Amino acid sequence: MEINWAELKAAAVQAMKHAYAPYSHFPVGAAALVDDGRIVSGCNVENASYGVGLCAECGLVSNLSMTGGGKLIAFYCVDGAENILMPCGRCRQLLFEHSQTGMLLQTTSGIKTIEEVLPDAFGPRDLADGFGSEQRG
Ligand code: THU
């Protein structure tokens, strides 16, 4: 499927404008293209109990499930200045779970795959019941 990076960035910027980041003052927006062509997005939502704040990617994967599921094929994340932002370690794991093999990300050092930014990942296939073999393709 054709990846329109400009459209993905615009969706990430729009999402970033909804961020609730009164503690860090660091708004984040994330957007991803799903294998059926739709775009899902999310923003960070912080909390007075700082450690339980939600990254933008949390909202994105929730949006993915709520709007029909599917596999992510391309991802773009921005900070408040609309610059590319790398997903944090935990969020790389979140994205991995819902990514199609070879999902592309815009990174601060060019386009990379999810496998490059989360090498030797633990994932659904590593669980004893093999549940993930049909979950991640
Ligand atoms: N943040 C995200 O939303 N996604 C990331 O991948 C990196 C960090 C948020 C969490 C927190 O609200 C703010 O950025 C500062 O760390």
pLDDT in tens, 90-128: 999 999 999 999 999 999 999 999 999 999 999 998 997
What does the alpha-carbon distance between residue 75 and residue 58 come to, in Å, rounded to a whole number? 13
Residues 6+ apart with CB under 8 A from 134: none
Give how far Cα 107 sits from Cα of 6, 44, 114, 125, 126, Å: 14, 18, 10, 26, 27
Cα-to-centroid distance, 66 and ligand 1 (Å): 22
Which residues' Cβ are closer than 6 Å to ligand 1? 21, 24, 26, 28, 44, 46, 53, 55-57, 87-88, 91
Tokens of 36: 């059926």
Candidates 26, 60, 86: which one to mutate for ligand 1, based on the most atoms within 8 Å of Cβ?
Answer: 26
Query: Which domains does the chain possess?
Result: 5-126 (3.40.140.10)
pTM for the predicted model, two decimal places: 0.94
**pLDDT tens string 53-74:** 999 999 999 999 999 999 999 9
CA-proximal residue: ligand 1, atom 9 (nearest): 55
SS3 75: strand
